[in-house]
């Protein structure tokens, strides 16, 4: 009695790469003109778009006043930049002694910045009037919901700053600094791969001759399942058979033809068999965070009649999915 079973293992290799981006031009102030700039922030914690959990990273932001106008209080409200596809949340956790906290990111145009300090949604900062160039620090937190699609590499989160100054003589001053606050974040190039469907099992073929197998309809000799791949960038697929596209009586390689049953395997427009055992790796376009299915088809090409009896003839097929650099040329759609 012989039952043929094809067991598969899928392996996904993850890589991440980074670069550094740090640049900021301070906006000058002249006289009583109220304006402010934030130092750029680099968050070392990378973002994985395929993680099941929300991304949460805490950091310190520094706001700098451009001149030394005496008796000036400053209150800033962060507004989301024009990249509306990114659902980013920024929270103020605490500052160095002066003010508001809570969710400070709003859809444009956001809540109005009313005269006076301590309004809802503001980051309230009091700059020291005795300092020529005062600065304040704020502890903040960036949150990105799980599954948010971002391209691999360095992502630039840019916010506008809306500000209000109250002078000692009662005069208020307000305005906006476009791109006044920038957060740089590394986004990993990642791949997740998993098999969809049951392992190909051809059932009992101990009494079937090779002639009977080759004449049988596909519903008897052919099994199909899928490789589900989610990726944020291009990736490469490679596949190898432990036993050269033969199922063996023990599952291990053997040179005894009486202990081997041939089959063929098809994926990505290539048909593999004992006569053509080597797969040419295929470079695929990014499949996105939602993923796509790659069809895998196993077809029996030999019967078990006259073979050494075994409970399960089997082979192990290993499929390796590897992320590639985003600039990789010559990729194709793989679904």
Look at the chain and report how many structural domains it folds into.
2
Torsions phi, psi of 212, nearest 5? -65, -40
* 180 within a domain of the structure (yes/no): yes
pLDDT at site 101 = 45
* 237 within a domain of the structure (yes/no): yes
- What range does the domain containing 307 cover? 2-14+190-323
Domain end (from 135, 166, 187): 187
Residue 213 binned pLDDT confidence (cut-offs 50, 70, 90): very high
Q: Is the per-residue pLDDT at 19 higher than 50?
A: no
- Same structural domain, 209 and 314: yes
* 331 within a domain of the structure (yes/no): no
- pTM value? 0.68
pLDDT at site 3 = 63
- Same structural domain, 162 and 268: no
pLDDT at site 153 = 87
pLDDT tens column, 191-207: 999 999 888 999 999 99
> Where is pLDDT greater, at 163 or 222?
222
- Same structural domain, 170 and 79: yes
Given a contact cutoff of 8 angstroms between Cβ atoms, the answer to whether 138 and 57 are in contact is no
- Same structural domain, 183 and 195: no
pLDDT at site 133 = 53
Domain end (from 146, 162, 187): 187
- Same structural domain, 179 and 252: no
Domain end (from 160, 187, 214): 187
d(CA 8, CA 13): 17
- Same structural domain, 182 and 40: yes
Given a contact cutoff of 8 angstroms between Cβ atoms, the answer to whether 59 and 148 are in contact is no
Taking the CA atoms of 132, 91, 151 and 236 in sequence, report the sign of the dihedral they define: positive
């Amino acid at each position: 009695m012989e039952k043929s079973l094809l067991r598969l293992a899928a392996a996904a290799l993850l890589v991440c790469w980074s670069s550094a981006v740090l640049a900021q031009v301070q906006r000058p102030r002249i006289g009583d003109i109220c304006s402010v700039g934030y130092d750029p922030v680099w968050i070392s914690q990378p973002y994985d778009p395929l993680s099941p959990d929300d991304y949460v990273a805490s950091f310190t932001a520094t706001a700098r006043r451009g001149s030394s106008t005496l008796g000036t209080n400053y209150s800033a409200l962060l507004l989301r930049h024009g990249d509306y596809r990114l659902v980013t949340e920024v929270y103020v956790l605490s500052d160095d002694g002066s003010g508001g906290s809570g969710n400070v990111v709003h859809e444009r145009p956001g809540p109005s910045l009313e005269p006076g300090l301590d309004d809802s949604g503001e980051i309230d900062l009091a700059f020291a009037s005795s300092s020529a160039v005062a600065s304040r620090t704020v502890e903040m937190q960036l949150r990105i919901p799980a599954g948010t699609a971002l391209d691999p590499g360095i992502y630039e989160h840019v916010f506008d700053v809306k500000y209000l100054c109250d002078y000692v003589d009662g005069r208020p001053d307000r305005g906006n600094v476009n791109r006044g606050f920038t957060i740089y974040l590394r986004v990993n190039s990642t791949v997740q791969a998993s098999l969809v469907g049951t392992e190909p099992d051809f059932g009992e073929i101990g009494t079937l001759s090779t002639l009977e197998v080759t004449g049988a309809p596909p519903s008897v000799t052919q099994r199909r399942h899928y490789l589900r791949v989610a990726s944020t960038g291009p990736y490469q697929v490679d596949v190898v058979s432990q036993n050269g596209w033969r199922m063996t009586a023990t599952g291990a390689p053997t040179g005894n033809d009486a202990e081997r049953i041939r089959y063929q395997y098809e994926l990505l427009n290539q048909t593999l068999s004992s006569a053509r055992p080597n797969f040419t790796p295929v470079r695929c376009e990014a499949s996105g965070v939602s993923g796509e299915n790659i069809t895998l088809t196993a077809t029996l090409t030999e019967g078990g009649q006259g073979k050494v009896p075994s409970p399960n003839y089997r082979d192990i097929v290993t499929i390796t999915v590897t992320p590639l650099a985003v600039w990789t040329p010559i990729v194709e759609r793989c679904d």
